[in-house]
Amino acid sequence: MGKIYNLYINGRWVKSESKEKFPSINPAKPKQILGYFQKANEDDVNRAVEAAENAFEKWSSMPPPKRGLILMKAAQLLREQKEELSKLVTIEMGKVIQEARGDVQEAIDTADYMAGEGRRMFGYTTPSELKDKFCMTIRRPIGVYGLITPWNFPIAIPAWKIFPALVCGNTIVFKPSSDTPLCALKLVEILEKVGLPKGVLNFVTGSGSETGMNIIEHEKIRGISFTGNRETGREILREAGVKKIGLELGGKNGIIIMDDADLDLALDGVIWSGYGTTGQRCTAASRIIVHKKIKQKFEKMLINRIKKLKLGNGLNPKTDVGPLINKTAQEKSRKYVEIGLNEGAKLLTGGKIPKMSGFFFEPTLFTDCSVDMRIAQEEIFGPVISLMSVNDFNEAIDVINSVEYGLSSSIYTSNIRNAFKSMENIEAGITYINSSTIGAETHLPFGGVKQTGNGTREGGWTAIEEFSEVKTIYVDYSGKLQKAQIDIE
């Protein structure tokens, strides 16, 4: 029997009113149970919301620089525990240890940055149209925030949401993915250790359909920030009511490789974007758009590199590709291979579930794909790449924009005009020139367009915008009633 972990409500670790639990397992060794977690029900969520609501006045009235000091202490503890946390990320989520260290480093960087935002939190001053009148804006916290995070970056993404929400003065009800609750719990423990007041951060575990929806529908929760499935995002918009909502809902990212590209550099980028994190990134590149002149050469280069990738437990430093998160994800990748074959795509390598313990899937490459194929349109979230050839730059832009998503994008080219035209014309929240479709650095905005989200941005100063609201202030020192617009001569 594995260890039983509790909810964290109002500064105490408590059991769920449901008395039900669920396991967290190691995707590389599915028989290894890492622990059992509480299935929070509506009563638990109500208790968490009440605690957050009661803590809000005191927390929001604390000067933002002092809130930032708590995040600075959290950053230091994250540094001290980086290797321990990184190993846990690999064990619970599956990504290779080098990537797991990057996951934790993102949380450290975010804590550092958001601690500094406590001394900025900038507003605007602007002249009034009337005499003896002063105008400015300030930023105010929103209230109780519901944060719902995915499993693929189990330390980093919670940090992206929790740290800016806290420095802005909000209180929180936090529900992590049921696939990686232990990573999330360790982050909560760090914030408890650095002296976060009780009730400011509340941690509930359970299913999205029950625990998550109880958070989304709760009338006293003023804001929701969600990263995950597009269909769930749509349901949030239908069910949340009048709340401030931030959604990040995935991608179907493309890399353009022109005939003047550095092919060795492009090859490194495709391998990293397509098969890093086993393709389980919202920024993963699952579409490679290659100029017809170099298609055959690049295919050979790509196949050669793919066949050298080593599958295995992410704790082994020689492993290149870890497991998928669970059996459902493994079956989804297998299903899309069948779909691709039925659609007429040519399978060059991979496409199978290997005979090894764990939720592994072979790095897979299709070629001769058309833009209307499902494997070229739908988010697979596995190590499956579709390669398409184009005649020229304009066609490449049309192809990369042919999907409903618009998160990350990339072009490899030596042509400065094509590089700048890509910046203008690619429909994506992020565009890289001569690099892979990775995410954003923590001090820059992260998010997408079209079906990728609803326009909010995480990271950098835009995270402050997401987790606060603008208040406009007027100071009239004229000593008389002035009517804007009406009293203008």
Question: What pLDDT digit, counting tens, does each position of 355-369 carry?
Answer: 999 999 999 999 999
DSSP string, 136-151: EEEEEE-SEEEEE--S
Q: For residue 487, what pLDDT is reported? A: 72
Percent above pLDDT 90 for the chain: 98
Q: In CATH, which superfamily holds the domain spanning 253-433?
A: Aldehyde Dehydrogenase; Chain A, domain 2 (3.40.309.10)
Which of the listed CATH numbers 3.40.605.10, 3.60.20.10, 3.40.640.10, 3.40.50.300 matches domain 4-249+453-473? 3.40.605.10
The C-alpha R_g of the chain, in whole angstroms, comes to 24
Please compute the mean of the pLDDT values over residues 246-253 and round it to a whole number: 97
pLDDT tens profile 63-120: 999 999 999 999 999 999 999 999 999 999 999 999 999 999 999 999 999 999 999 9
Residue 379's contacts (CB-CB under 8 Å, 6 or more residues apart) are 230, 250, 251, 252, 286, 405
User: Taken in order 476, 481, 487, 489, is the CA torsion positive or negative?
Assistant: negative
Instruction: Report yes or no: 423 and 416 within 8 Å, Cβ to Cβ.
Output: no
Instruction: Report yes or no: 244 and 237 within 8 Å, Cβ to Cβ.
Output: no
Q: Rounded to an integer, what distance in angstroms lies between the CA atom of residue 379 and that of residue 286?
A: 8
Please compute the mean of the pLDDT values over residues 28-45 and round it to a whole number: 98
Residue spans of the domains in the chain: they are: 4-249+453-473, 253-433
Clarify whether 210 is annotated catalytic: no
Please compute the mean of the pLDDT values over residues 190-213 and round it to a whole number: 98
Can you give the length of the chain in residues? 489
CA angle 231, 277, 267 (to 5 degrees): 110
Tokens of 276: 């890093």
pLDDT reading at 315 higher than 70: yes
Residue 486's pLDDT band, with cuts at 50, 70 and 90, is confident
Only one residue has tokens 């669970």, namely 326
Q: For residue 322, what pLDDT is reported? A: 98
3-class DSSP state of 215: helix
Percent above pLDDT 70 for the chain: 99
Q: Could you give the C-alpha distances from 207 to 21, 39, 325, 356, in angstroms and in order? A: 11, 7, 16, 29
The DSSP secondary-structure symbol of 24 reads: E
Please compute the mean of the pLDDT values over residues 244-266 and round it to a whole number: 97
Please name the helix (run of DSSP H) or strand (run of DSSP E) that holds residue 81, with its range, or none: none
pLDDT tens profile 144-162: 999 999 999 999 999 999 9
Q: For residue 488, what pLDDT is reported? A: 67
Catalytic residue, chosen from 92, 99, 117, 248, is 248
Q: Rounded to an integer, what distance in angstroms lies between the CA atom of residue 194 and that of residue 211?
A: 27
pLDDT reading at 352 higher than 90: yes
pLDDT tens profile 276-294: 999 999 999 999 999 999 9
Catalytic residue, chosen from 282, 299, 362, 379, is 282
pLDDT, mean over the chain: 97
3-class DSSP state of 393: helix
Listed residue (28, 19, 18, 24) closest to 3, CA to CA = 24
Q: For residue 489, what pLDDT is reported? A: 63
Tokens of 179: 């696939």
Q: For residue 448, what pLDDT is reported? A: 96
Pairing of strands 21-26, 29-38: antiparallel
3-class DSSP state of 332: helix
Clarify whether 99 is annotated catalytic: no
How far apart, in Å, do the first and last CA atoms of the chain sit? Answer: 80
DSSP string, 184-195: HHHHHHHHHHTT
3-class DSSP state of 313: coil
Residue 439's pLDDT band, with cuts at 50, 70 and 90, is confident
